Amino acid sequence: MIHALLVDDDLDLRQLVSDYLQRYGMRVTAVADAASLRRVLRAGLGGPDPFKVLLLDLMLPDGNGLDVFRWVREVAPLPVIMLTAQGDPASRVVGLELGADDYLPKPFEPRELVARIHAVLRRAGAAPVAAPTATVLQFAGWTFDRLRRQLTSPQQVVVALSSAEFRLLSAFVDHPNRVLSRDQLLDLTRAPGADVTDRSIDLTVSRLRQKLDEPTLIRTVRGEGYLFDGGAGA
C-alpha cells in the first residue's frame, strides 16, 4: 500500500485529497504545517509503514515551502510532488531545480494527482505493478485515456471532454455495472473550489450521453441514480 504524507494548511483540501486517495487504495497522513511535517516524518523514519511520497504545499503558515523541501531532502529519500498556487511559476521553477519530482498547480483534479503519484513512484521504482492498468480503459469500442484526458470513439475520433465530464466518466468507469446515487457522484466528482449540485450532475450526465451517442451506456435507475453499463476494462 502506498503511504502518502500530505502537507497543506487548507482543511477542506486535506479532507478531499485524503478521501480520494484512500478510494484508490492509498493510506494518507495529512498535516497542516511545517512543524507537524517535521514531527511526523521523523517519527516515521525506519518505521514499519514508511512514507512513499510527499505531497507538499509550498505556501505554509509557519515556513517557506522551499526551505521545508530542502530539509526533507536532507533527512529522507522521499519523492516529492509540490502543490503550488496557479500564479506562482517562480516557486515551481526553483522547486524543480532543487530536485522536486513533480508539481501540480491548484486547483487540480484529484484523479490527476493519483496519476502523478503513480508516475513518480514508477520512476522511483516503487509503484504497484497494477497501477498502469487503470490509466487506459476501453468500453463498448471506446478508449478512455485518463492520463492524457482523451476519449476516442470506436471510429477513432477524439471527443473533447470538459473537466466535469472527465471527472464524471472517470467515476463511471471506476464503478461499472453499479448504481451510483447523485450523492455518490457528487463525492466522486467534486473538485476543489467547484460548486457541484444534484442538478449539475444531471446536466453533465446529459452532455456526456450526447457525446457518447449510445443511450444504453449510462442508464437512469429511477429513484436511485445512474448505472454505467460499459463493461470497462484495461
For every residue of the chain, which 3-state class applies, written as one string? CCEEEEECCCHHHHHHHHHHHHHCCCEEEEECCHHHHHHHHHHHCCCCCCCCEEEEECEECCEEHHHHHHHHHHHCCCCEEEEEECCCHHHHHHHHHHCCCEEEEECCCHHHHHHHHHHHHHHHCCCCCCHHHHCEEEECCEEEECCCCEEECCCCCEECCCHHHHHHHHHHHHCCCCEECHHHHHHHHCCCCCCCCHHHHHHHHHHHHHHHCCCCCEEEECCCEEEECCCCEC
**Whole-number pLDDT of residue 129:** 36
What is the tens place of the pLDDT at every residue in 32-68? 999 999 999 988 876 788 899 999 998 899 988 888 8
- Give the three cell numbers for residue 222: 429511477
**137 and 233 Cβ atoms separated by less than 8 Å:** yes
Q: What is the overall mean pLDDT for the chain?
A: 84
pLDDT at position 100: 85
- Sign of the Cα torsion 108, 110, 116, 117 reads positive
Lowest mean pLDDT among 11-15, 110-114, 193-197, 218-222: 193-197
What is the predicted pLDDT for the residue at 130?
36
The pLDDT assigned to 234 comes to: 54
Q: Which residues pair with 54 in a beta bridge?
A: 5, 80
What average pLDDT does the segment 89-105 reach?
Answer: 77
- Lowest mean pLDDT segment, chosen from 9-13, 183-187, 188-192: 188-192
User: pLDDT tens across 124-152, in order?
Assistant: 764 443 333 346 888 989 999 876 778 99
Mean pLDDT of the 90-98 span? 71
How much is the pTM? 0.54
Q: CA 59 to CA 17: how far, in whole Å?
A: 17
Note whether 120 and 100 are within 8 A (CB): no
Residue with cell string 517535521? 38
Cβ neighbours around 159 below 10 Å, total = 15
Q: Is the pLDDT reported for residue 113 higher than 90?
A: yes
How far is the C-alpha of 218 from the C-alpha of 208, rounded, in Å?
Answer: 9
- The band of 213, judged by pLDDT with boundaries at 50, 70 and 90, is confident
- Please compute, for residue 94, the number of CA atoms within 13 A of its CA located in the half-sphere on the CB side: 12
Q: Measure the CA–CA gap between 87 and 106, rounded to whole angstroms.
A: 9
Please state, in angstroms and rounded to a whole number, the distance separating the CA atoms of residues 94 and 161.
33
